């Protein structure tokens, strides 16, 4: 039995063996916003914020996450609202198939929390662990540089 | 699966004493891939990330639990350069220098630096501590001298580190890439030079003939720099695998060696 605070709400869960935090979030807590793609930390689509750090939830053993505070894409903004990075992605059409979008949104939100006006290079660096296989990087970068008040 | 989540080193050692075969878990960035893709099913785990003593960096002693994210912004130039090439921000915030040693992959990005400066690895168990030089600890590809019941406490750097030190790595792209070849070169103002290369042998490779040759050159000519690169390429022992060929890795080793030397002159 583990205890997690996810998006401000306390949960208990019973992960099976060495299952990942991603599996626990999606399959046991019903939070399917974090996407399951490469399952080896290459693609960033499962990114969550754990105790203030951006991590790939597929690489966190759920049993070792006991006691931690997690923010998933569902918790970036109150229900029915958008986080500024999500609004920026919508407005700049920074979404194609959308599968990578939750991971990009979480990584970008984590960046803007620490650095409200990042440079274009800061943004590229912060998103270097997120892959968009539609290769929609141009629109994603335009969305976030716009939010930062930077020229892309 | 049993899991122990000790909060201090004594608790880690007790847990390992009770269950010496337990799997050690630090950042999880290697272990979880083995769980997901390699079918690894640890019967018991000792999780290390709550142990502050392991996450401490004091002077020349870097705790095994210090993450690449911290090392990237730390004071040791070439090690910071290496840290910046580890995975992605997500990987660097979880992965640790102790994990690099525990996994002992030939491609471990932090290992060439440790080899170039002749760092030591400190291990502990309930029987006590022992300190091994990097080449006593790293015994082969994914093999190290860690015994059941032991944990990696940290890395000890030598008292003096050369100010001129550079790391570089070659991969298919800049971000989120496992190295095809990597190298770390350190050089004293007087010329004494050491170079270690990663991903071109079963463990990091020190190119000792090349070191000896270039250490005798206080201000190397272009011909001496070229000869240094040639010797380094001769001394590595790369293989062909899914990431690259032995021929390319040998060539790349020479290029990296020349480039890093030029940056240190």
Distance CA(B189)–CA(B210), nearest Å, equals 18
Q: Which CATH fold topology does A84-148 show? A: DNA polymerase; domain 1 (1.10.150)
Does residue B149 share a domain with residue B183? no
Q: Are B111 and B198 in contact (CB under 8 A)?
A: yes
3-state class (DSSP) for residue B96: strand
A residues 24-53 lying closer than 8 A (beta carbon) to B = 39-42, 44, 47, 53
Domain with B6 in it: what CATH number? 3.30.465.10
**B contact test, residue of A4, A38, A56, A126 with most B CBs within 10 A:** A56
Q: For chain B, first and last CA: distance in Å?
A: 54
Q: Please enumerate in sequence order all residues whose Cβ is within 8 A of that of A55, keeping only pairs 6 or more positions apart, or say none.
A: A47, A48, A49, B90, B93, B94
* Per-residue pLDDT tens over the stretch A5-63: 999 999 999 999 999 999 999 999 999 999 999 999 999 999 999 999 999 999 999 99
Chain B's closest residue to A55, CA to CA, is B90
Residue B115 lies in a domain: no
| B111 in any annotated domain | no
DSSP letter for B220, please. -
Q: Which of B32, B44, B47 is nearest to B91 (CA)?
A: B32
Check CB contact of B1 with chain A, cutoff 8 Å: yes
What are the strands, taking DSSP E only, across A51-116? 53-56, 69-71
Q: Per the structure, how many domains does chain B have? A: 2
Return the residue in A36, A61, A67, A103 with the most chain B beta carbons within 10 A, the one to mutate for interface testing.
A61
Same domain, B132 and B168: no
For B103, other C-beta atoms within 10 Å of its C-beta total: 18
Find the domain containing B207 and state its range.
164-264
pLDDT at A42: 95
Contact A39 B37 (CB under 8 A): yes
Whether B84 maps to a domain, the answer reads: yes
Look at residues A131, A111, A6, A126 and name the one whose alpha carbon lies nearest to residue A62.
A6
A125 Cβ neighbours under 8 A, 6+ residues apart: B89
In a domain, B42, yes or no: yes
Residues in chain A with CB shorter than 8 Å from the CB of B28 are 59-61, 64
Q: Give CA separation, B71 vs A55, B152, B167, B212, in Å.
A: 17, 17, 14, 30
Nearest-10 crossing angle of helices A101-114, A84-91: 130
- Side-chain-side CA neighbours of A6 within 13 Å: the count stands at 26
Asked if the Cβ–Cβ distance from A18 to B93 is below 8 Å, we say no
Question: Do residue B139 and residue B23 come from a single domain?
Answer: yes
End of a domain among B156, B181, B200?
B156
Q: How far apart are the first and last CA of chain A?
A: 46
**Which strands, in side-by-side order, build the sheet including B23-25?**
B2-4, B44-47, B23-25
pLDDT (0 to 100) of residue B173: 86
The beta-strand segments (E) located in B27-78 are 44-47, 57-58, 61-63
Q: Give the span between the Cα atoms of B93 and B67, in whole angstroms.
A: 6
Query: How far are the Cα atoms of A94, A138, B206 from residue A88, in angstroms, in the given order?
Result: 8, 13, 50
* φ/ψ of residue A93, rounded to 5: 55, 40
- With beta carbons under 8 A apart, name residues in chain A contacting B176: 42, 128-129, 131
Eight-state DSSP code of residue A61: B
How high is the ipTM of this complex? 0.96
Please compute Rg for chain A using Cα positions. 15
Specify the pLDDT at position A151.
Answer: 61
Q: Is B47 in contact with A53 (Cβ distance < 8 A)?
A: no
Intervals of CATH 1.10.150.120 along chain A: 84-148
B202 plus B225 within the same structural domain = yes
Work out the pLDDT band at A152, boundaries 50, 70, 90: low
Interchain proximity A107–B47, CB inside 8 Å: no
Counting as low any pLDDT under 70, the low residues of chain B are: none
Q: Where in chain A is the domain with CATH 3.10.20.30?
A: 2-75
Which CATH architecture fits A2-75? Roll (3.10)
């Amino acid at each position: 039995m583990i205890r997690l605070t996810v998006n401000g709400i306390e949960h208990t869960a019973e992960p099976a063996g060495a299952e990942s935090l991603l599996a626990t979030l999606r399959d046991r807590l019903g939070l399917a916003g974090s996407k399951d793609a490469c399952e080896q930390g290459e693609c960033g689509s499962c990114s969550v914020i754990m105790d203030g750090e951006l991590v790939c939830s597929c690489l966190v053993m759920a049993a070792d996450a006991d006691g931690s505070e997690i923010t998933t894409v569902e918790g970036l903004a109150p229900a029915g609202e958008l986080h500024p990075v999500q609004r920026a992605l919508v407005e700049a059409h920074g979404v194609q198939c959308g599968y990578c979008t939750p991971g990009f949104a979480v990584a970008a939100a984590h960046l803007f929390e620490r650095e409200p006006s990042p440079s274009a290079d800061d943004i590229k660096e912060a998103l270097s662990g997120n892959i968009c296989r539609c290769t929609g990087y141009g629109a994603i970068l335009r969305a976030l540089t716009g939010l930062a008040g930077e020229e892309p | 699966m049993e899991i122990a989540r000790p909060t201090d080193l004594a608790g880690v050692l007790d847990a390992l004493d009770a269950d010496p075969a337990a799997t050690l878990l630090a950042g999880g960035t290697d272990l979880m891939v083995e769980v997901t893709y390699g079918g690894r099913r640890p019967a018991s785990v000792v999780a290390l990330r709550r142990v502050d003593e392991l996450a401490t960096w004091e002077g020349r002693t870097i705790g095994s639990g210090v993450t690449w994210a911290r090392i990237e912004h730390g004071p040791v130039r070439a090690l910071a350069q290496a840290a910046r090439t580890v995975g992605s921000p997500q990987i660097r915030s979880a992965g640790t220098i102790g994990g690099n040693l525990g996994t002992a992959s030939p491609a471990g990005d932090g290992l060439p630096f440790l080899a170039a400066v002749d760092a030591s690895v400190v291990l502990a168990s309930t029987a006590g501590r022992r300190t091994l030089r990097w080449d006593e600890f790293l015994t082969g590809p994914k093999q190290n001298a860690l015994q059941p019941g032991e944990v990696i406490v940290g890395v000890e750097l030598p008292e003096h580190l050369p100010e001129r030190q550079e790391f570089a790595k070659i991969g298919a792209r800049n971000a989120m890439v496992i190295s095809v070849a990597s190298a770390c070169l350190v050089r004293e103002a007087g010329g004494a030079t050491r170079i270690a290369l990663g991903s071109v042998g079963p463990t990091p490779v020190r190119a000792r003939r090349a070191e000896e040759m270039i250490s005798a050159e206080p201000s190397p000519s272009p011909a001496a720099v070229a000869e240094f690169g040639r010797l380094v390429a001769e001394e590595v022992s790369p293989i062909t695998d899914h990431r690259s060929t032995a021929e390319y890795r040998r060539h790349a080793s020479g290029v990296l060696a020349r480039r890093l030397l030029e940056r240190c002159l």
